Amino acid sequence: MSRFRLPRSLIAETGLLETPLGRRLSERLTVAEPRPSIQPADYPGFGPDDLLLTRHRGEFVKPCPGTRGYICCGLQIIHFGLGCTLDCTYCILQGYLDTRALVLFGNLEAKLDRVGDMLDQTDSPHRYCTGEFTDSLLLEGLTGLGARLVRLFAGFPGKLLELKTKTDHIESLCGLDHGGRTVVSFSVNAPAVAAREESGAATLARRLAAASRLAESGYRLGFHFDPLIRHPGWEPGYRETVARIFEAVPAERIAWISLGAFRYLPRLKAVVARRHPRTRIMDGEFVLAGDGKMRYVRPLRVEMYRVLVKAIRKASPDACVYLCMENGRVWREVFGFDPAPDGLIRMLDQRV
Ligand code: SF4
């Protein structure tokens, strides 16, 4: 069973309780006295039961930062909040964000019109996602923001929204007129990793049941095997998950499947040791890579990718499979070609 629970208190900056999102949240949460401002330096003073409603001062839509030397899928990120309480042991956010509270940007609503203007331009990028610093559907039951974006994108042929989640919070999406312009993607893993390292997320069975319901609602689906973690029994474990995906949803409903081996900034190691002392995920053979992250040595990554690609192709020979943030040499060893610099972007744009 998932340990996830919704926040209970809403702490907002002055003026944001009067926004549509602020009003909606106020109906469900205990509302604290508004504050003139809530700055990142204040975040550590709050806990997982707190939801902070603040103003985002920067750009709401930004390209995925990518990393030089690694092949990026070129998504644009709609930035609507920060933090995640699913508490995966390997989560990179632990190394970046000094908060256990969740942050939503209350001024997002006003900016969504600008997103619409951007989508209206034929030369704007094709693919967008939410949730670089959170899970796209974590608070969907409270906010309805995912459903709002699905409706927005439905009106823009040639553009595509990807919602990425480890939850089964899909109720608000079922039955929407999405126009085929949204892919809902589930992060998945081997059963042992999902159970041990993702204990706040929906179980693998629930994620796949949610995917199946969305397929019935006409959505296309994505699956992200990220992070692939070497553990006793990893090979049959990952094959089992591949088989379960294709049992749960028709192959033609799957837009893409990505693979990304576990990687982390060195400073994450101490944080994980403190927060999750029982995990063994850092025990593998890692090297410091060119992007400053610890990665499994290349032959181990290639071996894992090959096992997954073979299992996926066996289930669906035409499946669109790609590697997340890998270098050209690994691409060549796994697929026999190197899509640098923008072949992956073109490949995924064609799926749109
Ligand atoms: S679901 Fe993603 S963002 Fe949330 S804790 Fe897990 S890895 Fe981090």
pLDDT value at residue 1: 59
Edge to edge, what strands does the sheet with 81-82 contain?
Answer: 30-31, 9-12, 50-54, 102-105, 81-82
Residue nearest to atom 3 of ligand 1 (CA): 134
Range of weakest confidence among 39-53, 88-102, 225-239, 319-333: 88-102
At 240, the pLDDT band (50, 70, 90 cuts) reads: very high
Range of weakest confidence among 45-49, 76-80, 116-120: 116-120
Query: What is the average per-residue pLDDT within 127-131?
Result: 88
3-class DSSP string for 15-51? CHHHCHHHHHHHCCCEECCCECCCCHHHHHHCCCCEE
At 202, the pLDDT band (50, 70, 90 cuts) reads: very high
- Answer whether 88 contacts ligand 1 (Cβ < 6 A): yes
Answer for the pair 172, 59: CB distance below 8 angstroms, yes or no: no
- Answer whether 135 contacts ligand 1 (Cβ < 6 A): yes
**Element of type H or E holding 160:** strand 160-165
Q: What's the gap between Cα 28 and its chain centre?
A: 25
129 or 71, which is more confident? 129
Q: Please give the distance, rounded to the nearest whole angstrom, from the Cα atom of residue 262 to the centre of ligand 1.
A: 13
Walk me through the domains of the chain, giving residue ranges and CATH numbers. Answer: 57-351 (3.80.30.30)
Query: What is the average per-residue pLDDT within 233-237?
Result: 98
Nearest to 169 by CA among 195, 134, 202: 202
Residue nearest to atom 6 of ligand 1 (CA): 88
pLDDT value at residue 2: 64
At 117, the pLDDT band (50, 70, 90 cuts) reads: confident
**Model's pTM, two decimal places?**
0.95
Q: Using CA atoms, how far apart are residues 288 and 264, in angstroms rounded to an integer?
A: 9
Query: What is the average per-residue pLDDT within 108-121?
Result: 82
Residue nearest to atom 8 of ligand 1 (CA): 91
Q: What angle do CA 115, 106, 40 make, to 5 degrees?
A: 110
Q: Please give the distance, rounded to the nearest whole angstrom, from the Cα atom of residue 195 to the centre of ligand 1.
A: 14
